[in-house]
Structures are given as structure tokens and as C-alpha cells.
Amino acid sequence: MDTYLIVNAVQLGFTVMAFCEGRLASGTPTWLVGCHTLSLAGAFMYLLMSVWFSMHASITAKSYETRLLTQLVRLPVPSWTQLEGARTYGSTFEKTKTNQMFRVPFVMGTQQQVLGETATSAEEGRGSGEGGEGGQAGSADLWGLEGRGEGIYELDGSIRTNPDELRHLTLIKEVMKYWQSYDGFARVAMSMGTNQLILGLSYYVIGYVLISNKAIMACWLVVLLFMVIATALIRLDMSLTGLEFRAAVVLVSAGPALTAFAAQQWRLHTVKGYELVHLLAPLPYAAEAAWLMLLLYISKVGEQEGGAMLPTGFRSVMYIDVFGWIKRARAKEHSESPISVQVRLPSEIAEEEEAGEEVLGEAVPGKGPAMAAVNYEGCFVKGPKATRPEQLPGASKPAPEHLATKEMFDPTTFVPREKDGQKANHEEDIHPYLKPGLVPWRIFCSATSLLLILWWISGVLILLQASGWSALRVSPLLRDSEEGPQPIEQGAAFLLELESKSSEFEPLLGEQIDTSWPPGALPRRLACAPDGSNVMLAAASRFGLFQAELMQRKSVGANNTSTAFRSAAFNYAPACDALEGEALQDVAVACRGKCALVLHRQGQRLTNCALTQKPTEQTAAMSLSDAWLGEGDAAAGEAQEEVSSLALLENCGKASGEQNCAYAETTSGRLVEMKSGLGGSGRPDWLPTRVLMADTHSTLRRGGDLHILGDRYLGMLGDDGTQLQVFDIQNSGKLLGRWPLPAQKRWTGMCSAGGSLYLLAEEPHAPQLFRFPLPQTLQLVSKSKPMEQAAQKPAAALKLVTVNKTLEAGNMSSSKLVVTGASEHGHGKVPNISYASTIAKPTNTTLEAAVSGGKARKDLRARKHSLSQGILAAH
């Protein structure tokens, strides 16, 4: 038991390490994560149970061993009775004739002949002697210690032929039940813990090798190897019939096999594949639950002769059955009437022997004249008295038989039962579930039943989720806000003088668009592009790419014409071979909405994938240069810099159509402009051209969502989803302003198309899509020509009024999301508007106002002076 205690401790540590360090990647299907987690939890439970059982069995065995050796089983030290018997036999040997004492076998005749001569000479001596004196002299038993040997325990041959009657074996059988069950179930729990750990490793290989790295054959071969190992352990540890063994192998192998096939279908990203996954996902849970139910049956737990409950279906348990109780118990099952099993303690055997000796009436040891030995201790008071030698002080005595009782082996005798002067009630019976041979079986059965129920419940929940039930779906936890001041943004735009612009409030009325997603979709990125009057949408999750077409619907009324959008039904995009097994980071729509550029492979690859069934012109995978990225330093705790988000701007070069631009954000906080076609070798590689922003105080972050707003602005949705930052890419990437977003929603994706801003909100059941119009300051510049912009700048001067009461900037940039029926906006009413927000630029942000002439400059200085006195509000 001490040997496999070490093995269980090592496996338990490996299980904890696999649970903490070997986590599956984000975006792995929930049904696979559930199988992996439950398997590791089962392995941890069984291995911990085995460690506890082993420790309990070891401590209990040592305690009873000490009690037996020190109180009940003594070393063979001879008593006074045995010494007197030896002296008597020695005296008899001294009176033996010389020819008998020195007789050489077969040379001096046979034993019968010598004894015959001795008997003849003895008769002649008695005839010539005086009556009975000769007979008294020929007697060798002068002390009267000789007698029959049938009643002596050491000389009883019948006991030696039946080991069950041996005293020391009877004692061992009585105490073995207190640790034998723990020892047996410790071995069973170790076998089951190893089995569950193998299953957990199988599910981990499926999630890592097949889902993340798309190595289908490698995954299937490794899972097959693990199943062979699990089958070999069942064959080595258990003693089963042919039918039971085949059923066990099928149930153990069904879970990983079905999961591997379902994961392969899930990676195809087809409609039939997902339908098949929904049917196969609950089956591994049912197979694992059925295997645990079969385990409770094939363990064949039964009560043995000593009262211990042992799982006789396991081979390892047979080796602790040193007395063959299991074999005899199976033989007695076929008998006609049950036989009551009784354990005879040494005290009971001694009483029976004493009763038998009284009936025989033969001469027994202790009846001779030596029993009249005189003891003169205390003779001056009471006179001398006859005493047996072994009763003298200091004489050796055999182990007391009256101590070997069943009450002596009670586990409660190792702990004091009296406390604070209160006597314990010894008449209280032990409850059945506290019996030593029953406790480990109840613990093992209860733990296995609990794990079985968890597998069933999880399988039912997976089945309900596949059917569209999403009551238990929860949103991820929000990221904690960083402490301290906001980092300073540095770059090319930092050297420019920023001028103040108006801090007017621009009410943006938001419209919620009915959105539907495939089951289990959790998109994190959003991209869009105009397609005539419609909008092509693309969304990306960790391992899935989705597409939808948002169509406009116009209604003509008596006074005006309103435009609304129908619902957006997202579906899986056609399979893209280059994305198989890759974790998607960002997505951008290109080719007029017909294809999508997907960023993956730690920000080093940009793959063109089709969003429709029609093939696109560009299908090659492009690589991003990584020579300009910062190197990580493990010693300093610095991670490798990677590209986390990408925005695409087509035809940005002087020669239209020859060059494309992209803007990338890195995990270290840098915003970089990149261009394609600079390598000169014809490869569509992307190389950096300039740095727009360098946040040197930023720590490692996931990165925001980048998209082009209009024709010249770059919008970035922060990774916390609370504000929208806008940069002017035609003015060296100068920060134009920050717009806070409604705090009632957690915004995870953003894109712009057709003068509208689309935001993706995270919801408990399914993500929702909202449409907001672009702020007027962005629409005017993006839609007007340069000459028209210069003419409109003086007319765009705003009337500013100083507010005497100083307000905090947080109040000026607050946002809210309210429910409205219809609101005035633009040239008409917008129907079905259910969400509204107030988006404002903070007052402490310098705003650019295009003014001309000396009068405009005076107005600008007046505005700066009023800014120091209070907060500027716009009418």
C-alpha cells in the first residue's frame, strides 16, 4: 500500500498540472471543453481518493501490528511449566540403559530388541527386589508432570492441519477487516484515476492537435494509442468475462472516438458538418456515464468472511486475500443453505479446550507433587504456603487469552472515549455505514455515482444547447480598469500643434438590427463594406468566419421617405483551407464585399477568403513583415510583439489600383501604417511605412478593432469597448478625438459603411448589431471636396457660450442608451429606432477649427481664453 501511495501522489500532481497549464485554447467547442474538464476532474477525484485510502490502510495496519506484537503475540519464552517438563524428560534420559543410550541403529539391533532386553532385566530386578520399591525406583516421572499431549496447543496436530484454527492467524483475520477494504479500494481508485487521466489526455489531444493545429491523422492515431492503453489496463487490472470485457472496451473507447470524429466535422465549417456535430456532441457524455455504471457492476463488490467489502472483479484485490476468503465465498454461493461464518478467538478456543479436558479425566500437567512447592514469602505473618513456580513474582507468563476479544480490536479503543469526566456510553452501537469493511465501498460508490450524474447532466445540457436552448449562456467577465493615469500617446502626430475645435454634443440615434447567428457562435470582430444599396457584413470568432447581407428597405410616406434595415442573418462563410485549425484575430472586407482578409497565425499571415460561393480573383495568402516587431525578453517578463488588429484601405497609392494600405495595431500599443507591393518580387507582402502612434507606457494588450471611417479617418475601438478613437490618416495620423460609447452595452466589434457606424454588442444569449450614423464632423469632411471644405469652414464656425459653473469633464462626455419610438434626424423621421446615445468629444481634447483671416484667429484666441474660465457648450 505504501508503494502505490507514491505512484498516486505523482499522478495527482500531473493531473493538477494538466488542469492548470494544459488548458484548451479559447474558442474550443463547449462540448469538447466539457469532456476534457470532467475527465480531469474524475481523475483528480479517484487519485485523491486512492491516496487517502492508502494512507488510512497503512496507518491502520501499523497500529494493529503494534498491538498484536506487544499485547497478544509474545516471543516463545519458556514458562516454569515447560522448564519442569524438560527437567523431567532429562531425568528420564539419565536413567536410560547404556546400550539404549549409545545404541547404533541397525548395528546393535533394532529398537524393539533393545527395549525387549531392558524390559526382561527390569522384570528380573522386580522379582528379586522388595515388593513395590522396585517399581517406584523404575519410575522416571518423579514430579508427576507427564500426561497426555492432546490438550497442549503447540502439540495439537489437528490445529496444524487446519490453519483457520491457529491462534495468530485467527488474530490476524480479526484485525485485517479494518484495513483490507481500504487497501483494496485504494488499488481500484488508482486504476480508475489512471483511466480518467488517459481520457482527459485524449480530449486534450483532440482540442490541441485537431482543433488548433488541424492535424487530423496525427490526432486520430494518438487517440487510438490512448485507447489501446486504456484497454490494456482493463485487461490487466480486472477479471471479467468475455461479454463484460467487450462492453467495457466499447464504452471506454466510444467517448474519445465520437469526439474526434465530431471535431473533424466541426473543422469543416459546413452546414451538414454542424448538423452532424449537434447529433454527436451529447453521445460521448452518455458513453462515459454508461461506462461508470458498468464499472459499479463489474467490480463485483461483496462481503467476505472477515466482514470486509472487497471488489472481487479486480485482479489486484485478489493478491491481498491471503486466506482465500473470496474463493471460499464464491464456493458457498452455490451451496443450498447459507453457512454462518464465525471467527473463533483464542479466548473461545481456550474455554473449549478446558471443558474438553475435564470430560476426558486423564492425567494433565500440573498434578504432581511439585505443585506443593513451598513459598516462604511472608512466613512470619501467615506462615509458609504452597505456590506454583510460575506464580512467583517475576516468572514468565504466556499471553493472556482473555484480552483477545472483539471489543479489543474496535477502532475506538485507539482514542480516549472519556472527556471532561464524562463516561462514554459503551452500549452505543456503531451505525452500519461506519462499519470498517463498508466505509470505503460507500465512499467509492457515492463518488462514482456523483461523477456519473455529472456526465449525464452535462450531456443533457449539451443536447439542449444543440437544440437552440441558451438559458445558461453567460457573457465573459469584463476586464478590470487599469489603475493610474492614461498613457501618453506619442508619434508623428504628437509633434503637431493641436488646435481647439468645438465641443458640441452630437446626438446619434441608434437603431437595433434584428440579428441571428448559428448555434454556439461567439463573434468578436466585425467588418463591413457597401454593396450598392446594401451592406455586406463579415464577423469572426476564435475559429469561425461568418457573413451576412444587410438590405435596406425604404418606405415612402406623405411627407418624407424613411430608410430602415431588415434583419441580418449570419451564416458560416464558405470553407477556407488556409484557415483550417488557425485562430482568427481580425477580419476586413475587400473585393466589394465578395471576400474577406483574415488575420491569423499570431498576426503574421493575411488570407483572402471568399464570403460567397462564387470564387474570387485573389485567393493567395499574404505574409506580414515581422522584422520591425519588438523581440520578447523572458527574463524581463516582456512578451513578443504581435499584430493584433488590421484595417484595410484599398487604392491608396498615387497610381490607383497599384497599391493598398493597411493600418495595424500591435500588442505593445503601436499604430503602424503598412503598404503592399514594396518587396519588388511580386509577392503581396506588407511592409511598414510609418508609425502613427506609439504608446510606450502600455502593457501587453489584446488590441482594439480598427476600421476606416469614410475616406480619410481611422477609427479604433478600444479593447475595453468604452470609447471610439478617431485618427486623421491624411494628416500624419493626428488624433482627431475620442467619442465615449454607451456604457449599457459591451461593444466588441465596429465597422463603418455608407455613412453609418455599426457596433456589435455582447449579449447573454446572442450578439446584437446596432447602427449609428457617423458624427457630422466626420461626414462633412469625408463627403466634401477639398475646395468645398475650405468654403464651408468659415460657415461651420459655432457659437460658443461660456458656462460660469464649472462641470467635470466626465459629465460632458457621458453617454446613455434610451428607448425611443421615433426621433427627428436628418431630413426625416427614422422609424423603429429603439436605442439612442449621446456621443460627445471630451472638453480637454484639442479640436481643430479651420478659420481664415485675422478675425478667425482672434475668435480662436477668445475661445482658448474662455476655456480656462469654464466649460464650453455648443448650441
Query: For 175-197, how does the pLDDT look when each residue is reduced to its tens digit (9 = 90+)?
Result: 777 778 888 888 889 999 999 99
Of 321, 309, 315, residue with least CA distance to 443: 309
Question: What is the secondary structure of 716-779 as a DSSP string?
Answer: EE-TTSSEEEEEETTTTTEEEEEEEPPTTSEEEEEEEETTEEEEEEE-SSS-EEEEEEPPHHHH
Name the residue with higher pLDDT: 452 or 851: 452
Please, how many CA atoms are within 13 Å of residue 28, restricted to the half-sphere of its CB?
Answer: 24
By 3-state DSSP, what share of the chain in percent is helix, strand and coil, each rounded to 5? 40, 20, 40
pLDDT digits (tens, 9 = 90+) for 276-321: 888 999 999 999 999 999 999 988 887 776 667 788 888 766 666 6
Q: What per-residue confidence (pLDDT) applies to 555?
A: 53
Q: What per-residue confidence (pLDDT) applies to 129?
A: 45
Q: Is 248 a residue whose pLDDT tops 60?
A: yes
Q: Is 432 a residue whose pLDDT tops 60?
A: no
Confidence label for 480 from pLDDT (cuts 50, 70 and 90) = very low
pLDDT digits (tens, 9 = 90+) for 325-356: 666 655 665 554 443 444 455 555 555 555 54
pLDDT digits (tens, 9 = 90+) for 202-228: 999 999 898 888 788 999 999 999 999
Residue type, 211: I
Name the residue with higher pLDDT: 458 or 559: 458
386 bridge partner residues:
374
Residue type, 87: R
pLDDT digits (tens, 9 = 90+) for 539-566: 988 888 898 888 766 555 555 555 566 7
Name the residue with higher pLDDT: 128 or 68: 68
Q: Is 824 a residue whose pLDDT tops 50?
A: no
> Whole-angstrom Cα distance, residue 671 to residue 692?
5
Are the C-beta atoms of residues 746 and 724 closer than 8 Å to each other?
Answer: no
Question: What is the secondary structure of 444-458 as a DSSP string?
Answer: HHHHHHHHHHHHHHH
Q: What per-residue confidence (pLDDT) applies to 193?
A: 93
> Whole-angstrom Cα distance, residue 543 to residue 528?
19
pLDDT digits (tens, 9 = 90+) for 77-126: 666 666 776 777 777 777 777 777 777 877 777 766 666 655 555 555 55
Instruction: Tell me which residue has cell 467489502.
Output: 309
Of 588, 587, 584, residue with least CA distance to 600: 584
- Taking each continuous run of H as one helix and of E as one strand, the counts in the chain are 21, 33
Q: What per-residue confidence (pLDDT) applies to 872?
A: 27
Confidence label for 722 from pLDDT (cuts 50, 70 and 90) = confident
> Whole-angstrom Cα distance, residue 689 to residue 693?
13
| Strand 568-569, strand 515-516: pairing | parallel
Quote the radius of gyration of the chain (alpha carbons, Å): 47
Are the C-beta atoms of residues 704 and 719 closer than 8 Å to each other?
Answer: yes
pLDDT digits (tens, 9 = 90+) for 604-634: 788 888 888 765 554 556 777 666 777 766 5
Q: What per-residue confidence (pLDDT) applies to 762?
A: 82
Q: What per-residue confidence (pLDDT) applies to 373?
A: 47
Please, how many CA atoms are within 13 Å of residue 638, restricted to the half-sphere of its CB?
Answer: 10
Average pLDDT over residues 759-763: 85
Measured from the Cβ of residue 438, the count of other Cβ atoms closer than 10 Å reads 18
Q: What per-residue confidence (pLDDT) applies to 452?
A: 94
Q: Which residues contact 711 (CB under 8 A, 6 or more apart)?
A: 782
Local structure of residue 68 (DSSP, 8 states): I
For residue 873, give the 3-state DSSP assignment. Answer: strand
Q: What per-residue confidence (pLDDT) applies to 839?
A: 34
**Least confidently predicted of 139-148, 166-175, 262-271, 421-430:** 421-430
Highest mean pLDDT among 3-12, 78-87, 686-695, 848-857: 3-12
- pTM equals 0.51
- Counting residues of the chain whose pLDDT is more than 70, the rounded percentage is 55
Q: Which stretch of DSSP H or E encloses residue 872?
A: strand 871-874
Highest mean pLDDT among 318-322, 711-715, 832-836, 848-852: 711-715
Q: Is 481 a residue whose pLDDT tops 90?
A: no
Instruction: Tell me which residue has cell 477502532.
Output: 411
Name the residue with higher pLDDT: 528 or 96: 528
Q: What per-residue confidence (pLDDT) applies to 829?
A: 37
Q: What per-residue confidence (pLDDT) applies to 653?
A: 58
Name the residue with higher pLDDT: 396 or 850: 396
Q: What per-residue confidence (pLDDT) applies to 254?
A: 94
CA-based angle 684:687:689, to the nearest 5?
A: 135
Are the C-beta atoms of residues 740 and 814 closer than 8 Å to each other?
Answer: yes
Average pLDDT over residues 126-131: 47
| Strand 835-840, strand 505-513: pairing | antiparallel
Of 355, 366, 359, 358, residue with least CA distance to 146: 366
Instruction: Tell me which residue has cell 498615387.
Output: 654
**Least confidently predicted of 42-51, 165-174, 748-757:** 165-174
Average pLDDT over residues 838-849: 34
Q: What per-residue confidence (pLDDT) applies to 257?
A: 94
Output the average pLDDT for the chain: 68
